Structure 1
Amino acid sequence: MTGPRTAVRRTARSRARAAAIAAFVVLAATVPAAAGASGTQKVDVTLPYACLFPSGKHTAEVQVSASLPERVATGEPIEPEDVTTDVTLPEAAVADLTKLGAAEARAATRLTVGVTQGEAGAEATWRGDSASTALPAEGALTLTATGDVPTVTGRSTGRLTMKAQDFSLDLALTKADGGAADPATVTVDCALADDAPDQGRLAAVAVGDDGGDPGTPSGSPSGSPSGTPSSSGTPGPTEEDPEGGKDGKGGRDGRDAKDNVAPKVDAPGGTAPRAAAPTCKYDEKYPAGPMSLNSYLTGYSNVNKLDGAALIPPFCALITQGEPEFVFFPDFSGATITQHSTGDLYNGQRRQTPPFEATFLTFDFTPTTATMVLEQAGPMTIDSHGTTDFVFTSTDTYVRAPLVLRVTSLKVNGTRLDVGSKCRTKSSLTSPEPEPAKFPGDHLILHGRGEQVTGEPATGYLLLSGGPMTGKVTVPAFTGCGTADGENLDRLLTASVSGPDNYVKQMQGQTCYVSADELNPDECTDDAQPLKVPVAER
């Protein structure tokens, strides 16, 4: 970012590689190796889910199919293959979408899979995308989603079990003329029905020599509902071990209790450990150009009125980098550098973040959970200004984006309040603008400052290597919240959330230069997505 593509770009990238700028997020460390893998088992499970559609709760069927190994070595990644999710929406739910003016729907699915081994557990997210499918005039609608899913690695010997948990789908809606419906997207959250067969069990894989028969139902783990170990670290009693592993050595089968730790969840393919993140790649709607970058961002946004912060999980930005412009000092002792770039949020061909949840104590005692989406309402610009003496370079970058906050669902003290399909802020989130004449209109502003000494890693924020950006934002009043025959919730949300001076801190990861003749394996996955997923910081 501090020089032309032909020179400084490559220098900055080599420094970024040497500095190992972005951190990896994994659920656990690697484990020792043991015996090899055996045959393959087929998964084909149909599960009932209770889903919240605009008209209310309906039952949807979710069929999950995949191929998994029957047995793996301890420490060998378990990679689900040929994963397909068929979601069948009932006729009443299809009618809801039709009422919004939709003629076709495309789904992005998220299935939470609980992974347990012994008393320890972790979660993996199986994501998929479907083709755009016409809504039937009557009857149910089935959407078929496919996609890569994370690998899972057991950290000790013993059976590893996978069970389906919560399920969500983001429906991108289009009208018959090809335009977007209003709203353009509908998020549907689903919970596994109480009568789901075998509590949503998908498969079991034997890990190591004594992993047991994967076809035999695993014993019920004791401890917390999340599958984490008890505070003592000692397994509780089960049918197989009524003494709860009290063999005098602190663990079952003579193993020490420290072996009772969570499985490790890695990125799809298991080749590049990274946190769960949505797809971030250029496509036919957003084709890559000669200066195209992509990157993940994540962070926190305070909500002053609720004395809390909302975590915005990793989301994708597609960036078109501008050419830097140099103005040399009269004595050629240095130069100023300016650069203007543009960008778009990206989620399933929509300029928005994936849905994210936040739970607060409204009025200091009532737990309130909101599912929200940030929608880009206009051009996003990235303007950098710096100075260099050709040894030390400092750069200030301002990201400006008009973002509307949309609320898709709301629960107060466990009770769902119907916010309708058009609940959003009246205008974009706003920040104090230092140059209002040059940058008119409502928009959020994030500022990042980076410094670099030639030959040393950069510190702070640079467009290419990422880093922290901060700002303050005003949340406008809400509108459209509630239904025609229900309670108007505009004032409740406005009173609870809207207001000024909410601190925001976002972390951008290392960019992937997708337009390079050859993708940099330290920056990009094989399919031109960002390799590095940043970790949110407060």
Structure 2
Amino acid sequence: MRLHLTVGATRPGTRGRNATIAAFVVLAAMVPAGAVVAADQSVDVSLPYTCTLPSGEVDAAVRVSASLPARVEVGEAIRATDVETSVELSEEAVKKLTEKEGGAVSAATRLTVDVAQGDSTAQALWRGSANPQPVPATGPLTLTTTGDVPTVTGQDDGDLTFTAGALGVDLALTGTTPDSDPAPLTLECTPGKDAAALLATVGVGDDPGGPDGSPTASSTASPSGTPGRDEGTTGDGQDKDAPEVADRPAAEADARPAAPPCKYDDGYPAGPMSLNAYVAGYANVRKQNAAALIPPFCTMLEQGSPEFEPYPDWSGGVIRQHSTGDLYNNGRKESMPFKATFLTFRFMPAEATMVLEQAGPLTVDSLGATDFVFTSTDTYIRVPLVLRVIKLEVDGTPLNVGPTCRTSGSLKSPEPDSAKFPGDHLVLHGRGEQNSGEPATGYQLLSGGPLTGEVTIPAFRGCSNAGENLDRLFTAAVSGSGNYIKQMQGQTCYAVAEVPNPDECTEDRQPLKVPVPER
């Protein structure tokens, strides 16, 4: 069984339901942030909750604020942004939390959000955390948490609703002295009986109110109950108080390292999930006991949909994702030219200018495993690459090598699955790990990171100077096995976002992050 990142039917049984929720959280991390439609409605809902303490029940005022799109296309990912959850506990409740005055409290919240579209339902967990703050001697205590939340995708036309459900509040209390820390507490809270817990409604697909299917100014009601038009909106139907995307600061633009163009155009049009990213690194030439610096070059990627396959007992599952891509240099599928200086045969200095030419499909296959707390992902990038020499200087003297000087075939890496991936090609491997609620480490397709591999450089052919065959010279000096490669991929830019993410893209939709090569 495979579960796509969509609003799916609710499964019977607590364990299956909880695993489905966790699958939403895990898979959401694999969807590009830029793919989430820009927010154009603001959520600000205050709700009465009842929380259970060891000493009894207490009332709490809970406020949830966020930004969400008003309408998306079928299949577009939706993520609530700028999410805040505030929990106000009365003075009476604070006294029940700790009998001693003073100290501080840290909080983490877990808000269950019910997502529904027609007869399909699912649940998402909106997590948040807050820094420690003093416990007041008198008066109420307000705890405000923030955090990222998983995406949800509607697969059919029709409104998709977000409704607040149960809330868990984990409290870590500290006393005035190290030995006076009260025990941690968890408050289990439920909405009041008559609470209107609807947070937001997001239209999915064509808007029946518009003559051409486009959203109308009055089609979306504010979740707080106020009309979504007139004083609260602009003429195009968007909430005038919705946060605007700030322009990238000039200082940040000036700080961006020089890099070749990396932009989709008429010659290389973007697809629905198109990403672009820079890659840079080093490649060893073992025979020369040296490394060649490969400066930043552009890659175009088309991200595939992640799929989740649960274990039979729903204790975790496997995540698979297949994507494709190309090297890109001004319309050609190749790297930027790069130079390498060697002492040929250990005494003759030689500087070669080379490019890596793509000779077949570039694929990106990720395989992850998760227990819904810890997730590890192994990504393999495979691409056949031919090494071409375009210029050579020996001891400072130019040596014409002809227009066809290149390896006789693709660079070849050890292939962990040769039956499925036959033929010669480069294989780069990246591993990423992530604990729930913490930033990922290592390599992820979207955020980038280190990719490593080992290649055999084939014999050269087509190299000649004034009729003299230089193939054997290049082969003897460069070709061979055991050549280590380390490449750094930068943060991807979601190139077709309606509003490019200023933390990931330049204004003209090129990757903002240019990676620094590492050995």
Q: Give the shorter-chain TM-score range.
A: 0.5 to 0.7
Residue of structure 1 equivalent to 2:432: 450
Q: Deviations over 1:409-434 (max 9, x none)?
A: 11111111110000000000000111
Question: Equivalent of 2:355, from 366, 373, 376?
Answer: 373
Question: Equivalent of 2:286, from 293, 304, 321?
Answer: 304
Question: Equivalent of 2:262, from 256, 280, 289?
Answer: 280
Alpha-carbon distance between aligned partners in 1 of 2:265 and 2:492, rounded to the nearest angstrom: 17
Q: Deviations over 1:50-82 (max 9, x none)?
A: xxxxxxxxxxxxxxxxxxxxxxxxxxxxxxxxx
1:466-481 matched pairs, under 5 angstroms = 466-481=448-463
Q: Contact 2:256/2:514 (CA < 8 Å) preserved in 1?
A: yes
Q: Deviations over 1:373-392 (max 9, x none)?
A: 00000000000001111221
- Between the aligned residues of both structures, percent identity stands at 65
Which residue identity does 2:258 align to in structure 1? A
Q: Contact 1:329/1:335 (CA < 8 Å) preserved in 2?
A: yes
Q: Contact 1:280/1:317 (CA < 8 Å) preserved in 2?
A: yes
Q: Deviations over 1:250-269 (max 9, x none)?
A: xxxxxxxxxxxxxxxxx999
Q: Contact 2:5/2:28 (CA < 8 Å) preserved in 1?
A: no
Residue of structure 2 equivalent to 1:291: 273
Residue of structure 2 equivalent to 1:522: 503
Alpha-carbon distance between aligned partners in 2 of 1:498 and 1:387, rounded to the nearest angstrom: 38
Alpha-carbon distance between aligned partners in 2 of 1:5 and 1:525, rounded to the nearest angstrom: 30
Question: Equivalent of 1:486, from 452, 467, 472?
Answer: 467
Which residue identity does 1:467 align to in structure 2? G
Q: Contact 1:15/1:455 (CA < 8 Å) preserved in 2?
A: no
Unaligned runs of 5+ in 1: 17-266
Q: Deviations over 1:143-177 (max 9, x none)?
A: xxxxxxxxxxxxxxxxxxxxxxxxxxxxxxxxxxx
Please state if 1:461 is matched with 2:438: no
**Change in CA separation of 1:5 and 1:305 when aligned onto 2, cut-off 3 Å:** farther
**Change in CA separation of 1:3 and 1:466 when aligned onto 2, cut-off 3 Å:** farther
Question: Moved runs in structure 1, 4+ residues, more than 4 A?
Answer: 5-16, 267-270
Please state if 1:353 is matched with 2:339: no
Which residue identity does 2:407 align to in structure 1? T
Residue of structure 2 equivalent to 1:501: 482
Q: Contact 2:290/2:342 (CA < 8 Å) preserved in 1?
A: yes
Which residue identity does 1:512 align to in structure 2? C
Shift of 1:516: 2.1
Paired residue secondary structure (2:473): helix
Alpha-carbon distance between aligned partners in 2 of 1:382 and 1:278, rounded to the nearest angstrom: 23
Alpha-carbon distance between aligned partners in 1 of 2:250 and 2:359, rounded to the nearest angstrom: 32
**Change in CA separation of 1:287 and 1:424 when aligned onto 2, cut-off 3 Å:** same
Q: Contact 1:15/1:457 (CA < 8 Å) preserved in 2?
A: no
Which residue identity does 1:273 align to in structure 2? A
Shift of 1:272: 5.0
TM-score (norm 2): 0.53
TM-score (norm 1): 0.51
Paired residue secondary structure (1:536): coil
Please state if 1:513 is matched with 2:491: no
Alpha-carbon distance between aligned partners in 1 of 2:316 and 2:403, rounded to the nearest angstrom: 54
Residue of structure 1 equivalent to 2:383: 401
Shift of 1:455: 1.5
Paired residue secondary structure (2:323): strand
**Change in CA separation of 1:518 and 1:481 when aligned onto 2, cut-off 3 Å:** same
**Change in CA separation of 1:378 and 1:357 when aligned onto 2, cut-off 3 Å:** same
Residue of structure 1 equivalent to 2:157: none
Question: Equivalent of 1:388, from 364, 370, 380?
Answer: 370
Alpha-carbon distance between aligned partners in 2 of 1:504 and 1:3, rounded to the nearest angstrom: 34
Question: Equivalent of 1:426, from 394, 401, 408?
Answer: 408
Shift of 1:15: 9.4
Alpha-carbon distance between aligned partners in 2 of 1:404 and 1:276, rounded to the nearest angstrom: 26
Paired residue secondary structure (1:271): helix
Which residue identity does 2:384 align to in structure 1? P
Alpha-carbon distance between aligned partners in 1 of 2:498 and 2:254, rounded to the nearest angstrom: 21
1:10-25 matched pairs, under 5 angstroms = 11=29
Paired residue secondary structure (1:277): coil
Residue of structure 2 equivalent to 1:140: none
Q: Deviations over 1:256-300 (max 9, x none)?
A: xxxxxxxxxxx9997252221100011112111111000000000
Which residue identity does 1:284 align to in structure 2? D
Paired residue secondary structure (1:406): strand
Please state if 1:315 is matched with 2:297: yes
Alpha-carbon distance between aligned partners in 1 of 2:492 and 2:332, rounded to the nearest angstrom: 20
Alpha-carbon distance between aligned partners in 2 of 1:358 and 1:473, rounded to the nearest angstrom: 17
Q: C-alpha root-mean-square deviation of aligned residues, in Å?
A: 2.4
Paired residue secondary structure (1:398): strand
Alpha-carbon distance between aligned partners in 2 of 1:496 and 1:268, rounded to the nearest angstrom: 47
Q: Deviations over 1:228-263 (max 9, x none)?
A: xxxxxxxxxxxxxxxxxxxxxxxxxxxxxxxxxxxx
Question: Equivalent of 2:318, from 317, 320, 336?
Answer: 336
Which residue identity does 2:455 align to in structure 1? V
Residue of structure 2 equivalent to 1:89: none
Residue of structure 2 equivalent to 1:364: 346
Alpha-carbon distance between aligned partners in 2 of 1:434 and 1:410, rounded to the nearest angstrom: 35
Paired residue secondary structure (1:531): coil
Alpha-carbon distance between aligned partners in 2 of 1:535 and 1:340, rounded to the nearest angstrom: 26
Shift of 1:518: 1.8
Q: Deviations over 1:169-207 (max 9, x none)?
A: xxxxxxxxxxxxxxxxxxxxxxxxxxxxxxxxxxxxxxx
Q: Contact 1:272/1:531 (CA < 8 Å) preserved in 2?
A: no
Q: Contact 2:407/2:461 (CA < 8 Å) preserved in 1?
A: yes
Q: Deviations over 1:473-518 (max 9, x none)?
A: 00000000014x3321111110000000100000000000112232
Q: Deviations over 1:444-483 (max 9, x none)?
A: 0000000011211110001000000100000000000014
Alpha-carbon distance between aligned partners in 1 of 2:506 and 2:513, rounded to the nearest angstrom: 9
Alpha-carbon distance between aligned partners in 1 of 2:254 and 2:5, rounded to the nearest angstrom: 30
Alpha-carbon distance between aligned partners in 2 of 1:482 and 1:288, rounded to the nearest angstrom: 40
Alpha-carbon distance between aligned partners in 2 of 1:430 and 1:477, rounded to the nearest angstrom: 12
Shift of 1:360: 0.9
Q: Contact 2:297/2:336 (CA < 8 Å) preserved in 1?
A: yes
Q: How many aligned positions are there?
A: 287
Alpha-carbon distance between aligned partners in 1 of 2:492 and 2:6, rounded to the nearest angstrom: 14
